Amino acid sequence: MTGKAKNPFTWVEIYVEDMDRAQKFYEAIFNVKMTALAMPEGMGEMQMLSFPWVEGERNISGALVKMENMKPGTGGTLVYFTCDDCSVEESRVESAGGKVFQTKMSIGEYGFCSIITDTEGNTVGLHSIK
């Protein structure tokens, strides 16, 4: 890579079995509204709901994805969501149907994190500086 290094991440997909259940979970813990994405022809029965993002800006976003050959579960890639204070989102997890795997803990100069399990069995992280 030449010049100034940039963050190579651009998109994240979280695979789900029950789109309605997963949507309610993520909207509840992050207090956001997700939007359906139109699927290009040839994508089969695939469904996607996008997390909020600003088109054209340098940011990362992602979607909940329901598709036949990709299944949710623990043990794969761990995605972290940024938060002002991860204990706030963590406090919403159980009432939204998920489980707290690791409560908020210090990661030194890098802030704090929590690890949760969503309604689909995916393990995801929450990260904050405070």
- We report the CATH number of the domain holding residue 45 as 3.10.180.10
DSSP state string for 20-89: HHHHHHHHHHHT---EE-PPPTT-TT-EEEEPP--TTSS--EEEEEEBTTB---SSS---EEE-SSHHHH
Domain assignment present for 6: no
Mean pLDDT of 68-85: 86
Mean pLDDT of 59-88: 87
Domain assignment present for 5: no
Looking at the 3D structure of the chain, how many domains does it have? 1
- What pLDDT sits at residue 1? 47
Domain assignment present for 85: yes
pLDDT of 2 strictly over 60: no
The C-alpha atoms of residue 35 and residue 51 are separated, in whole angstroms, by: 7
Domain assignment present for 113: yes
- Look at the block and give the residue holding tokens 């022809």: 41
The C-alpha atoms of residue 33 and residue 24 are separated, in whole angstroms, by: 9
> What range defines the domain where residue 95 resides?
11-128
Domain assignment present for 4: no
pLDDT of 93 strictly over 90: yes
What pTM does this model have?
0.83
